[in-house]
Structure 1
Amino acid sequence: MAAAGSIGVYKVVFAALGVLMVGTLVYTTVTDGSPFRPELLTPWMVATLIDFYVNVIAILTWVVYKEVNWINSIFWVVLLFCFGGSATCAYLVVKLSEIKPSGPFQDPLDLLFLRQGNLSQRKSSFVITGRIIFSILGAMMAAIVIYTVITDGLPFRKELLTPWMAATLLDFYINVFAISVWVAHKESNWISTAIWICLLICFGSITTCGYIVVQLFQVSYQDPIYHVLLNLHNKSLNTEQGRPPSIIPSISVKA
């Protein structure tokens, strides 16, 4: 279980990553010009951008679930699409700052992933839709990667690493790091955590979609959606051993 002090560490890490990403975008714009140039859209840049935005879709799905009202949801969705990893970091820092643990047995990171307000208001009525959408996105991304390898060769070539490709990859892996935090919190042991994170690093959004689909197949249609987000195996073990579960219906957050 994560200690309350880990919240402060995560805030510092994501704040630093957000500043790094903003600095990278500013520096690349100044030294290499605008990213909106046709010559930058090489086959592997296009594939990387699609990979990047599939991960963004996964993150913004969580954001829409987490936010209480649609105005906040739309605001953050627009920022995520426009600014990528820097917006992800900003959102996480804001939400980490709102966390106020309400009991000694409650994992502070549970409060990060859960929505504000009454948990019972959100059921996983869209489980089938989620399975279909993320299965399609994962298959589409796999097909794009295979097609690009066949038509343009492997991506491990020096000439592909332009300034904007480097900036895009940094942006991409900041989001991968954010998703990895969820995977590490969700998994029951370090072996499965290490395997999934290695797959995320190597295969990007293909792994993201695969992981989400696996989690969606592990819940029933009547389960609250937080069953997808949290490691309920550990919670049930705590209950069986006489310790209160760390999931509680009322979530305390700062106003």
Structure 2
Amino acid sequence: MVDEPTGVALAPITDNDVRAVAAFLHEHLNRRLSPAEWARCAVPPWDVDAPNHGFMLRQGGEVVGAYLAFYSERADGDRTRRMCNLAAWCVLDEHRGHGLRMVRALLRQSGYEFVDLSPSGNVVELNKRLGFESLDTATSMVPNLPLASRRGVRLVTAPCAIEALLTGTELSVYRDHRGAAAALHFVVKVDGDICYVIARRDRRRGLPLFASLLYVSDPVVLARAGHAPYRHLLLRHRALVTLVERRVVGRRPKLSWEQHSPRPKMFRSGQVPARSIDYLYSELTCVPW
């Protein structure tokens, strides 16, 4: 679809477009990721019948805007819900007026529930006007201290060992995400009970000193593990602080304090309640900002 006065064309991002879009995102959104890394991030590792990888804008054959999207199919009782995660969004300043065309194209896709897990600036207000609601992202900050683990607590990080421990839904989640570029996997064992955790490295104020917990299969077991998971994130991944959302872990961890202004996350759905929204199958697991 071409805007005749400007010659800016809107089109879905296909497999053949990923390299050009990746080069654009490297140049204009985040140079910390190479074009090859952006290309890897744009195509998730899980199997899904996705209609596209998002939408893009071209003018004269050159990419001038892109909005990545990650699709998934999630089991919800006896039915399957189709999810679309609105991810990295970048438009050249001179074409910013066309950015909304990509948003509308994504939201016009029928049969999907939508999440936006990293809206910033004016995007939050735009999302509200488009029918998005805010998730409760109340967050605690845990200092990752090198405290000794208590007896009976062990962390498992080897891929083959993780796979051997997991069953059912957790095993499916692990297999779907083990190739995701931003996902850090480990299993916490406490006196024979296990909790599968997916975390990611994060930046705040440009500093790569943080981790976030994205998925916790058993918050009770995680709490029983004490400080061991946070010690692991310090020693293995060099994260000084872990950001822990209440909706992910339940109760606030010990040795933590509340974050005053947690980052917003939003969703738009006529059927899925906020409590059913998680951070799997999303840019948070795929894009290591």
- Which TM class, normalised by the smaller chain length? under 0.3
TM-score where L is the length of structure 1: 0.24
Give the number of the structure with larger relative contact order, counting CA–CA contacts within 8 Å between residues 6 or more apart.
1
Higher helix fraction: Structure 1 or Structure 2? 1
TM-score where L is the length of structure 2: 0.22
Higher strand fraction: Structure 1 or Structure 2? 2
